[in-house]
Structure 1
């Protein structure tokens, strides 16, 4: 394979005899090499085809900031996740994971862990991605010596979910957008409020709606009976949010012929209450 660009001593952009471009990784594989030279195949540890030149350029930018071991680790995690989830993951996951892991490890070393507000929802509704992410934490600890908190498993699980190539079709994306818009409108008019679209609570609410819409369209709503006790507690504590969530439930039944579970209704009430209280307080 001929070298087209050298990122650093360990990473290079190459082209094979069929003119297919790919990034190759390996300790010292580009050391004392120049563009046009051939790569020593014995030194190649990892390869992946680049979807675009812009992808290669973004990788180059990351390599200015992120150690090779993190880039290599992210490739291993992506390959593991693709195998475990039995799906093709978007190539952008390499970049997103490398960036995320690098900063997560750095924050942990400095005693600055970040809580993931969606952790319990991720554990409940994205069990497969979460279990894979737990394995990723073990891989991270093995490579870096840093044991990341459980919250990071939830963050990685969301990266995996977003990287599923089969979840971004235009028709499905439009349908998801319609659900998010309609449910947001129901909440808005129920409370008579306008949302601060830059607020953290609004963004959390929209994130939950997007994942909910995905599950609705894929028929993946969790139907394990739910936590009835928690449902009743939240219902009693947030009666206005309960009334609003019932309107959302009626909409889903009429438009999509889907029954929302108690778990879904519980999380809706919590998010609806949070976002509405913050908006009404302004």
Structure 2
């Protein structure tokens, strides 16, 4: 049985099990109107992150807690689509890296900061499947947040997916910008 320890936002909760192990659960509306101590049923969530004594867990909690439920849902959709289309095991870090990237991209856009992707052509050409997922991500974000991100941003998102396929945070050789 899982009990809520802390509601991070309407789509994310920190829970504990009967052994006091902590988990982060994601699910549409999972935290809405809930209080610490409430029981979470198995069908109420669609992703689970196991908390660890790693200092990055605090960063993960902060990133999720400060992200909109809409952005969390878009990130979940992108990761699910990437897993399904690529039919491969993707690194567990993809979700957090992508959420953090999208959040930062929206913040940059609000400030009018544009960053050019110097390996756009290489990603589009050599990693076409990942690039298509990046294009889907751009469409979802543009629609949800009324932005106008281009294929340059699709390539940035694709780079995160490529890294997740590697199971590492290092970029493949074609992605290394000199």
1:149 is displaced (CA, Å) by: 1.7
- The CA RMSD measured in Å over matched residues stands at 3.1
- Assess if the C-alpha contact under 8 Å between 1:51 and 1:91 holds in 2: no
- Assess if the C-alpha contact under 8 Å between 1:6 and 1:30 holds in 2: no
Query: How has the CA–CA distance of structure 1 residues 32 and 20 changed in structure 2, closer, same or farther, with 3 Å as cutoff?
Result: closer
Q: 2:33 aligns with which of 8, 26, 31?
A: 31
Give the TM-score, by structure 1 length: 0.52
Partner of 1:155: 156
- Assess if the C-alpha contact under 8 Å between 2:24 and 2:51 holds in 1: no
Query: How has the CA–CA distance of structure 1 residues 121 and 9 changed in structure 2, closer, same or farther, with 3 Å as cutoff?
Result: closer
Partner of 2:173: 211
Higher mean C-alpha deviation, range 85-94 or range 54-63: 54-63
Partner of 2:98: 97
Partner of 2:78: 77
Partner of 1:13: 14
Deviation by residue 1:130-179 (Cα, 9 ceiling, x = unmatched) = 11111111111222222212111111011000011xx349xxxxxxxxxx
1:24 is displaced (CA, Å) by: 3.0
Instruction: Specify every segment of 5 or more residues in structure 1 that has no aligned partner in the other structure, as ranges.
Output: 170-205, 215-270, 276-282
Taking the aligned partners of 2:152 and 2:67, their CA distance within structure 1 comes to: 22
1:62 is displaced (CA, Å) by: 0.7
Residue 50 (str. 1) matches residue 49 (str. 2): yes
Give the TM-score, by structure 2 length: 0.79
1:129 is displaced (CA, Å) by: 0.7
1:92 is displaced (CA, Å) by: 1.1
Q: Between Structure 1 and Structure 2, how many residues are aligned? A: 172
Identify the structure with the greater helix proportion. 1
With CA pairs under 8 Å and 6+ residues apart, which has the higher RCO, 1 or 2?
A: 2
